[in-house]
Chain A
């Protein structure tokens, strides 16, 4: 309750509410346009939250997060192309519904489901995170080191089909953190006499480079794509039919809890959550055969689960400082920009910020429902903006955003070089998630490794003998070995079947 009163005090002002509304709107637009993602939206707006202070700045980032996660349903339903990865499953039933003339029903149900999923996961965030933060207070450097390694390996194993490439990507992310100041003894390293390198690669050009510019290069390839949108019925209804909502309460709750749980797990994300929720909804349905042909239960399951991920993913981020996916890695960047270090101490030292995050997340969900439902026709038109106009503007925003932070041309070179490196890596089927996770977790891993060794006078054993640290390292090893064993097992099975 203490957190909530802080949050209400900091966020419930006209300025903050307008900022959240604007960022939700911005987020929905980013989510709705295929190729533009929540991560890109947050990364783009990150530099401009500098001036806003921590409460408004974080509220803005959360607004975009919620808006963009939900906004993907618009293009998924109207053109059958998911605006974001998280809304892939929505195309299974949302698009067929739109083709059958039920675009309005699919969209209003999708918006409402997103709202329910977002609010339930926010409640779970409020209940679970203070408890987890209390537990995390007992962590020493050994546990934090092992947690960092676990966070990195699980993201590597889940997000990369090729384990070596995943590990290389994660290692590259950590290597990017090496130039600059040594985290413990403040000695410049890897500067090679170049003064601008003494500060290392700054957060914003690195994040914007790997997310925004890489994506820009990728989108440039498919610049000629144009979509034809399905038209709405003349009378647009904002609320979904009450009868459907009433009969789907079980689906809403199940998908929300599943989405929150998947959000908590590092590496999993909106798309996995909606796949699982869809599968469970199908199993629980009286008409499973209708799934995939335009069944409203499919839209509800997918959209509730992918928005429930938002609250879930904030749990490990806020309590342990471990981002679960790329979007939360960028949000972590937002916290760092404002001088806040996520982790258990955040709950002790910055209860005002924690409360503001809770309240802002709730308000963002309400705004998302109101704005997305009310302005659906406008968003449907936005999808049609030609990419050859959109992409250069996104590029200009990246450049201005990066330049505005330190007024250094050097940062712009970092932006473009990392963007192009990211593009080449994607072309070679690398996943960028581990790079960014490596970049975020690198200092945590290095600092705690060295602090642990200093505390134990050079003894490595506490990393293995302290129960929680050992457990996390075993889990890290398991997350790396599990996909290898499973693929070997799968190959054997295939051979046996062929024989």
Chain B
């Protein structure tokens, strides 16, 4: 699902348009007009990205035409691999969203509990060990960073 050179090429093309559009919003500086002004470099760069993304699209189109049969076989094995990645992504997003309201300690505990538990899958023989490891990981990181290294960490609504 995540493997598609054509889709990546389109994303890069969109990025180039976005970069070009953004450059037109930059105010021209009075003392560095023209070629040395703040707009030209981003504009040239966006044109370069657009050119390369079109090349990539063309290259992928020609390649796909050649190897049409192999694509569907590869897709199945890739999807299985990607399940864990999507899970990790969702867990990471949840971790960031919950960090401010719940605080570092609770959100970290929940994050490690979910990720260790689910990534471990059948390798975990004792379910309680996941809770124990998550608790130890949370306490050690909290003590190390907040107490020893004096890093400010969100305390959340419970503190």
Given contacts A51-B149, A389-B133, A458-B36, contact A395 B115 (CB under 8 A): yes
Q: Does the CB pair B137–A392 fall under 8 Å?
A: yes
Give chain A nearest CB distance to B5 CB in angstroms: 6
Q: Does the CB pair B52–A167 fall under 8 Å?
A: yes
Dominant secondary structure of chain A at its interface with chain B: helix
Question: What 1/0 flags go to A340-359 for Cβ under 8 Å of B?
Answer: 00000000000000000000
Q: Does the CB pair B99–A220 fall under 8 Å?
A: no
Q: Does the CB pair A171–B111 fall under 8 Å?
A: no
* Residues of B close to A391: CB separation below 8 A: 88, 115, 119
A135 close to B (CB within 8 Å): no
Question: What 1/0 flags go to B15-47 for Cβ under 8 Å of A?
Answer: 100010011011101011011101001100110
Given contacts A396-B141, A397-B141, A425-B8, contact A454 B32 (CB under 8 A): yes
Question: What 1/0 flags go to A383-421 for Cβ under 8 Å of B?
Answer: 000111101110111011001100101001100100110
Provide the bound-state CA to CA distance between A400 and B151, in Å.
8
* Residues of A close to B111: CB separation below 8 A: 392, 395-396
Give chain A nearest CB distance to B127 CB in angstroms: 13
* Residues of A close to B78: CB separation below 8 A: 427
Give chain B nearest CB distance to A194 CB in angstroms: 12
Interface size on A, residues (CB 8 A): 63
A40 close to B (CB within 8 Å): no
Provide the bound-state CA to CA distance between A388 and B32, in Å.
54
A254 close to B (CB within 8 Å): no
Give chain A nearest CB distance to B2 CB in angstroms: 5
Give chain B nearest CB distance to A343 CB in angstroms: 21
A127 close to B (CB within 8 Å): no
Interface size on B, residues (CB 8 A): 66
Provide the bound-state CA to CA distance between A128 and B150, in Å.
40
* Residues of B close to A454: CB separation below 8 A: 32, 36
* Residues of B close to A474: CB separation below 8 A: none
* Residues of A close to B124: CB separation below 8 A: 388
Q: Does the CB pair A164–B55 fall under 8 Å?
A: yes
Selecting from A59-67, A112-120, A178-186, A327-335, the interface stretch reads A178-186
* Residues of B close to A178: CB separation below 8 A: 19, 22, 42, 45
Q: Chain B: which residue is nearest A447 at the CB level?
A: B41
Question: What 1/0 flags go to B53-69 for Cβ under 8 Å of A?
Answer: 10110010000000000
Q: Does the CB pair B93–A453 fall under 8 Å?
A: no
A428 close to B (CB within 8 Å): yes
A295 close to B (CB within 8 Å): no
Provide the bound-state CA to CA distance between A346 and B129, in Å.
51
Provide the bound-state CA to CA distance between A427 and B5, in Å.
10
Q: Does the CB pair B116–A389 fall under 8 Å?
A: yes
Give chain B nearest CB distance to A186 CB in angstroms: 9
Q: Does the CB pair B8–A428 fall under 8 Å?
A: yes
Given contacts A172-B15, A223-B84, contact A450 B36 (CB under 8 A): yes
Provide the bound-state CA to CA distance between A419 and B92, in Å.
11
Provide the bound-state CA to CA distance between A416 and B111, in Å.
14
* Residues of A close to B137: CB separation below 8 A: 389, 392-393, 396
Give chain B nearest CB distance to A477 CB in angstroms: 15
Q: Does the CB pair B119–A388 fall under 8 Å?
A: yes
B76 close to A (CB within 8 Å): no
Provide the bound-state CA to CA distance between A460 and B35, in Å.
9
* Residues of A close to B45: CB separation below 8 A: 171, 174-175, 178
A190 close to B (CB within 8 Å): yes
Give chain A nearest CB distance to B146 CB in angstroms: 9
Given contacts A168-B52, A174-B45, A397-B141, contact A217 B121 (CB under 8 A): no
A-B contact pairs, 30 of them (CB 8 A): A48-B149, A165-B56, A175-B45, A178-B19, A178-B45, A182-B26, A184-B29, A184-B32, A187-B26, A187-B38, A189-B26, A190-B19, A217-B88, A223-B84, A226-B123, A386-B120, A388-B121, A388-B123, A389-B137, A400-B141, A400-B153, A404-B145, A407-B152, A409-B96, A416-B89, A419-B92, A427-B78, A453-B36, A458-B35, A460-B35
- Across the A-B interface, the 3 shortest Cβ-Cβ residue pairs: A388-B120, A388-B119, A392-B115
